[in-house]
Amino acid sequence: MAPLTLDSLRPAVLKVQYAVRGELAIKAEEYRVKLKENPGQSGLPFNQVISSNIENPQQKGLDQPPITCVRQVAALMEYRELQHLAPNAFPKDVIARADELYEEIGSIGAYSHSQGVPLIRKSIADFISDRDGYPADPNHIYLTGGASAGVSLLISMLISEPMKSGVLIPILQYPLYTATLAQPSGEPLPYHLDESDDWNTDLATIEAAIKETRNRDVVPKALAIINPGNPTGAVLEEETQRKIVQLCKTYGLVLLADEVYQANIHRATKHFTSFKRIVREMKSDVALVSFHSISEGVRGGYFECTNIPEDVIAMMYKMVSVGLCPPLQGQIGVDCMVRPPKIGDPSYALWKSETDTIHAALAQRTHQMVTELNKMEGVTCVDSPGALYLYPKTELSKKAVEAARKAGKEPDAFYALALLDATGICVVPGSGFGQKEGEWHYRLTCLCPGVVKFHEEFSKKYPKE
């Protein structure tokens, strides 16, 4: 008797769609192995795979340099003797920070407080109150192993029987939300963003999605807003944010504010305002959970609870305790993010120039790529003021669509596979994020000039008529 078959798994697991790491990513990985095992003789028309499917700026090939002081603190926490063995390798403020963290945490080989190291939660609270002008309570902050972990926790707690619990999620959405909702009693309630208005969030669309649930056994429980957006990079206006809070009030929704890209805005006319600040300014009692993260392989992040009753916060504590504690290095990474070196600190100059360079490069890359894309026949792309992605819309000829259907693929996935096969560039087809009927997009994250030449050739192979 073979007990474990697909049929014996939770049916919702089978339904999870996770395009970011789907068929394309798997094929890209195979190409990467092939290139590695047969250097120079892979038979592939490229010699490097570029993972433009995930925002992964420090990956090989892109090699965005790490921030030195962050790595120095981490190294000193790993191996305390270094301050004696290599006394000149570390600036004074880095040593002082590591000493302070060590004094509080002790060895990073030990489990910490399940909610995260108290000192680091205090640093986060200071960061939030400096950012917003309103106080933050360290006891309402949970460190996590990345924003993903926080979002999963919240969604899984909010899903309650016997009716289905709905969570409103933006389309284009980041697939984490639908994947986490794939439980017998969870239901994603999609609302479309408006491409013609730079991917803005439209209140009437959300309201329509809420009303649509009335004739079904679904209780809308939360509204997820990604600001700045992924993959759109759109940054919300404060006026829109206030309306969103009002709407949560009206319909009794918990507001899940995914703000992981808050520091990634690269257009001078746009700026980020947290939902925490909006809620406080409005003196609103809407329940809000705000997510932030260092979003990388170190895996660190936090969420802050605003207007959440203490007994519910205690339940969260119980649930995170089951997982023991978030990774310590991620917690230390968050600490460096929320209190970077200050003017006057020995590390300040290097930190400043490193972060400025990274931001400038991102802005420049994004701008250059948008310009390239918009020059292409049949391609339009909203210029992204935030986040790290572009999401061009691509017309596909009838011939291309037919060829795709024949191959049993979505047309945009067919296009993306052809791109990967020809150039080694791995993107995410728009069908993984949700898009309007008859439209095709893909998401890419970095400067990939190879896309232009590929598109020309693809258009020749599948001409309009």
Ligand X SMILES: Cc1ncc(COP(=O)(O)O)c(C=O)c1O
Interface residue list for ligand X (CB under 6 A): 55, 146-148, 174, 176, 226, 230, 258, 260, 293, 295, 301, 324
129: phi then psi, degrees, rounded to nearest 5: -70, -35
Residue in 48, 60, 96, 349 binding a copy of itself, rule: CB under 8 A: 60
Residues in the chain: 465
* Neighbouring C-beta atoms of residue 36, cutoff 10 Å: 10
Instruction: Give the Cα separation of 222 and 304 in Å (integer).
Output: 16
Q: Which of 267, 420, 444 is nearest to 369 (CA)?
A: 444
How far is the first Cα of the chain from the last one, in angstroms, to the nearest whole number? 56
Instruction: List, in order, residues 6 or more apart from 10 with CB less than 8 Å away.
Output: 183, 184
Half-sphere exposure of 146 (CA within 13 A, CB side): 9
Determine the size of the site formed for a copy of itself (CB under 8 A).
101
Quick one: what does residue 174 bind among ligand X, a copy of itself, none, with the CB cut-off 5 to 8 Å set by partner type?
A: ligand X
- The option from ligand X, a copy of itself, none interacting with 258 (CB < 5 to 8 A, set by class) reads ligand X
Which residue from 44, 282, 319, 361 is in contact with a copy of itself, where contact means CB under 8 A?
A: 319
Which sign, positive or negative, has the C-alpha torsion 196, 258, 366, 438? negative
- Beta carbons within 10 angstroms of residue 460's beta carbon: 8
> Nearer Cβ to a copy of itself, position 392 or 429?
429
| Residue nearer to a copy of itself on the CB measure, 102 or 131 | 102
DSSP H stretches of helix in 18-117: 23-37, 68-78, 82-85, 92-105
Work out whether 38 is an interface residue with a copy of itself (CB under 8 A): no
Helix-, strand-, coil-residue percentages of the chain, each rounded to 5: 45, 15, 40
Contact 224, 167 (CB under 8 A): yes
Q: Which is nearer to ligand X, 172 or 404 (CB)?
A: 172
37: contact with a copy of itself by CB under 8 A: no
Range 244-283, binding a copy of itself (CB under 8 A) = 248-249, 252-254
- The number of beta carbons lying within 10 Å of the beta carbon of residue 269 is 7
Least distance in angstroms from the C-beta of 59 to ligand X: 13
The partner in contact with residue 226, picked from a copy of itself, ligand X, none with C-beta cut-offs of 5 to 8 angstroms by kind, is: ligand X
Q: Is residue 253 within 8 Å of 154, Cβ to Cβ?
A: no
Annotate each residue in 159-198 with x if it binds a copy of itself (CB under 8 A) or - if it does not, as one string.
xxx-------------xx--xx---xx-------------
Torsion angle of alpha carbons 324, 296, 16, 228, nearest 10°?
110
Beta carbon nearer to a copy of itself, 168 or 373: 168
Nearer to a copy of itself, 64 or 200 (CB): 64
Six-digit token string for 157: 């707690």
Q: Which does 227 bind (CB under 5 to 8 A by kind): ligand X, a copy of itself, none?
A: none
Burial of 431 (0-12, 13-18, 19+ CB in 10 A): buried
Q: Is 139 in the site for a copy of itself (CB under 8 A)?
A: no
Shortest Å distance, C-beta 352 to a copy of itself: 19
Interface stretch with a copy of itself, choices 108-116, 359-367, 383-391, 439-447 (CB under 8 A): 108-116
Among 16, 171, 361, 376, binds a copy of itself (CB under 8 A): 16
Q: Does 86 bind a copy of itself (CB under 8 A)?
A: yes
- Write out the binding residues for a copy of itself, residues 363-382 only, by CB under 8 A: none
Q: Which does 260 bind (CB under 5 to 8 A by kind): a copy of itself, ligand X, none?
A: ligand X
| Residue whose C-alpha is closest to residue 66's, from 233, 297, 261, 263 | 297
Read off the tokens for 203. 């209140």
Cβ proximity to ligand X, 190 vs 346, nearer residue: 190
CB of residue 403 vs ligand X: minimum separation in angstroms? Answer: 31
Q: Does 1 bind a copy of itself (CB under 8 A)?
A: yes
Considering the rule CB under 8 A, would residue 72 count as an interface residue with a copy of itself? Answer: yes
56 binds, among a copy of itself, ligand X, none (CB under 5 to 8 A by kind): a copy of itself
Of residues 302, 309, 303, the one with CA closest to residue 286: 309
Residue 131 in contact with residue 152, Cβ under 8 Å? no
Our CB check for ligand X shows the closer of 72 and 114 to be 114
Give the 3-state secondary structure of residue 301: strand
Which of 58, 357, 368, 380 touches a copy of itself (CB under 8 A)?
Answer: 58
- Part of the chain binding a copy of itself (CB under 8 A), chosen from 195-203, 224-232, 312-320, 377-385: 312-320
Specify the amino acid at residue 156: S
Shortest approach of a copy of itself to residue 39 CB, angstroms?
13
